[in-house]
Amino acid sequence: MIIKKPPATDDAFIESNVVKRFSPLARQVLAASGPIISSAAAGMTNGFSAILLPQLQQPGSKLSISEDQASWIASMAPLPMAVGCILGGLLMESCGRKSAHLILNVSFAVGWCVLSMAGSYPQILAGRFITGLSCGLVGPPASVYIAETSDPRYRGILLAGVTFAVSGGILLAHLFGTFFRWQTAALLCSLFMIVAYLLMLVSPESPAWLLARGARVEAESSFRWLRGYDPASRQEFDAMVARTESDDKKANAAQVDSSADSSSPYRRREFLMPLATLLVFFATMQFSGVNIVAFYSIALMKTTIGSDSLNEYLAMLIVDLVRVVTSLVACILLRSVGRRPLAMASGVGTTVSLIGLSIFLYFQTSIPLYRNYSWLSLVFLISYIVFVGIGLFPLPWCMTGEVFPVATRGLGSGLTSSFNFVCFFAVIKTGPTLFATVGINGTFLVYGVISLLGTLLLYVILPETKNRTLQEIEEQFRRGRRKAKDAEASGGQAAGPPNGIATIA
């Protein structure tokens, strides 16, 4: 691949012709809005079964289902999510980040429309399967597109918008189901996909993807639309070009020597280290029980409060609201706090909350004297939702789009997102068994120990990516976190690409 450099152009002339109605930040927010709304549809998919199944199981329902059919309806959406992640990664590499979003928005809309018009059990399964597949499709492209189109200063808060949208989508689905029939709720969900599609139509393609395809002119036009013409943006784009040319030279050299270890980008340190880091991160997040609490929130609220008269819809909405507020706080924290401190605080807080909840649930259920202190268990449950929501839940999704090199970003994000959903399925499947064998308090103790071990491992391997360009993050993984830290402490700079353009601050 040869990147053709366009002829020299008067920058002042170019800038005078740019539409200045919106600032670069506003344009980056506009570009991120489409993926964020699509992510909200993923949250709606996760929360839809909670309002679909109770309505289908009501005595006056036109469509009656058995318990076995209900379990299939609930599990039909998670079933294709892992496959959807792999397909989403491959789709955005072959067709582009923007085109992948346009396709998945159509797929989402079709799934919701099938659900809204479903009149039989097979049609409901078909709608759930399509929305579940679309939920997997949106995972890799959303994080990658936002990471590649946003300024390093705003990348954290925009990426956190994905998990905020997922939490908001769950809340919206539950609200729709509280006030409307499930067919109407599905139709309302489909309207969001129209908005997401229109937003993606007016947004540019990812500059990094265009540059990797050799389209220098189109890549620069997209980059300037998103980032403007300030000196820092010029330097970052030039560094992107230099880095791409350097990778192309290495790839060509590797093709000449077919025995070289560097012939495949998937065998390099800058791919394997982010892959291992995110696999650990997703496993820690899922096996800390984040989805167990979401799926069994009503039963857990009744156990912790000790009341059988708690309204199930009210309990569900309370948990949803806490999750949404926490996701909003996470967006703010990611703007001002680094990834490592936030991950460590979240991991420690999650561990303490889970172990504390386990201890107080044990005393509450075993010793009658402590039943009057059930509010302490509720405090630990709420604190668990808060701590897991500010770090362990949003951070791996944020980092999915920023830690992989551009050449392997599609497959890397697809593999890690797919692994997340495999862990998601394993946790949900083993949860009832753990509840039955070791009790609720013992289950939370197991999750607390896993959270502790995962946090310790992340302390060793997790790098800091806040305010770093994607090229700097790639170089950091290539050198190793400890070496990069020592180089920064000594005031040295890493070897930059040609033409004297530095890629490590």
- At 46, which CATH number? 1.20.1250.20
pLDDT tens sequence across 59-78? 777 787 777 777 778 778 87
pLDDT tens sequence across 437-494? 888 888 889 999 999 999 999 999 888 887 787 778 778 777 765 555 554 455 444 3
The residue-averaged pLDDT of 78-87 equals 85
Residue 35: pLDDT above 90? yes
Of 174, 222, 214, 311, nearest in space to 18 by CA: 222
Percentage of the chain lying above the pLDDT 90 cut: 22
In a domain, 255, yes or no: no
Do 162 and 303 fall within a single domain?
no
In a domain, 490, yes or no: no
Looking at residue 175, its amino acid is L
Beta strands (DSSP E) in 273-427 are none
Between 17 and 382, name the one with better pLDDT.
382
Distances (CA, A) of 330 to 43, 348, 361, 380, 449: 17, 16, 28, 19, 24
pLDDT band at 5 (very low <50, low <70, confident <90, very high): very low
Residue 136: pLDDT above 60? yes
Q: Round the average pLDDT of the chain to a whole number and report it.
A: 79
In a domain, 493, yes or no: no
pLDDT tens sequence across 248-292? 666 565 555 544 444 577 788 888 888 999 999 999 999 998 877
Number of domains making up the chain: 2
Of 76, 83, 35, nearest in space to 419 by CA: 83
In a domain, 360, yes or no: yes
pLDDT band at 373 (very low <50, low <70, confident <90, very high): low
Return the structure tokens found at 316: 């569900």
Residue 156: pLDDT above 70? yes
Of the listed ranges 53-57, 92-96, 428-432, the one predicted with least confidence: 428-432
Do 186 and 299 fall within a single domain?
no
Pairwise CA distance, residues 365 & 360, whole Å: 9
In a domain, 491, yes or no: no
Pairwise CA distance, residues 236 & 248, whole Å: 18
In a domain, 502, yes or no: no
In a domain, 305, yes or no: yes
Burial class (CB in 10 A: 0-12, 13-18, 19+), 17: exposed
Of 168, 186, 185, 175, nearest in space to 130 by CA: 186
Do 199 and 295 fall within a single domain?
no
Do 319 and 184 fall within a single domain?
no
Do 467 and 385 fall within a single domain?
yes
Identify the domain containing residue 394 by its residue range.
Answer: 268-480
Do 194 and 276 fall within a single domain?
no
Do 187 and 284 fall within a single domain?
no
Pairwise CA distance, residues 262 & 269, whole Å: 10
Pairwise CA distance, residues 207 & 387, whole Å: 35
Do 303 and 449 fall within a single domain?
yes
Do 286 and 177 fall within a single domain?
no
Looking at residue 227, its amino acid is R
Do 185 and 291 fall within a single domain?
no
Pairwise CA distance, residues 401 & 359, whole Å: 38
Q: In this structure, what DSSP letter does residue 136 have?
A: H
Do 184 and 301 fall within a single domain?
no
In a domain, 498, yes or no: no
Pairwise CA distance, residues 50 & 432, whole Å: 17
Do 296 and 187 fall within a single domain?
no
